[in-house]
């Protein structure tokens, strides 16, 4: 599992735009990696839209944004197109990255328990070291908080 102040293990997973993205692809850049439960659900859509709306500010601060869920690349492509996301979404169908960041948690919906992604965001510096993390994220105000952390890094 990742630890604050420690290097993040490299990964390479399929993403939108017919790509396979790896951590080392972003060496020299700050990376915001946000995990969300499911494409086209209200909270996940709002979170993606807020990252989209702040995309230029993140770029100006030297950061790249990547979203991660267990959805397929095809579902991600549709989600990106529908909401004009300017950043890529990673498909983690096998939960490799989810497990590395320990975001799979027991959830409860209408009395039914299941394992799902706990909304979480991680800030990785230019050298691949984890500098900040937000777990159990509530969407309102979150993107602004992440952007402030990026600017301070």
Question: Hey, where are the domains in the chain?
Answer: 29-152
- Tell me the per-residue pLDDT of 52-96, one tens digit each, with 9 for 90 and over: 999 999 999 999 999 999 999 999 999 999 999 999 999 999 999
Task: Decide if pLDDT at 16 tops 90.
Answer: yes
pLDDT band at 112 (very low <50, low <70, confident <90, very high): confident
Prediction pTM value: 0.94
Ordered DSSP codes for 48-67: HHHHHHTHHHHHHTTEEEEE
Q: Cα separation of 92 and 75, whole Å?
A: 12
* pLDDT confidence tier of residue 106, bands split at 50, 70 and 90: confident
Q: How many angstroms separate the most distant Cα atoms in the chain?
A: 45
Helix (H, G, I), strand (E, B) or coil at 67: strand
Catalytic residues: 44
- Fold type of domain 29-152: Glutaredoxin (3.40.30)
């Amino acid at each position: 599992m990742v630890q604050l102040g420690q290097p993040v293990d490299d990964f390479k997973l399929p993403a939108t735009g017919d790509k396979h993205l790896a951590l080392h692809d972003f060496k020299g850049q700050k990376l915001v990696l946000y995990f969300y439960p499911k494409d086209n659900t209200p909270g996940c859509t709002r979170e993606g839209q807020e990252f989209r709306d702040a995309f230029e500010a993140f770029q100006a601060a030297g950061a790249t944004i990547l979203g991660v869920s267990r959805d397929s690349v095809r579902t991600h492509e549709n989600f990106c197109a529908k909401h004009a996301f300017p950043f890529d979404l990673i498909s983690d169908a096998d939960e490799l990255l989810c497990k590395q960041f320990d975001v799979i948690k027991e959830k409860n919906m209408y009395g039914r328990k299941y394992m799902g992604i706990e909304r979480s965001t991680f800030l990785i510096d230019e050298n691949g070291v984890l500098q900040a993390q937000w777990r159990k994220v509530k969407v309102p105000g979150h993107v602004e908080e992440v952007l402030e952390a990026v600017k301070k890094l």
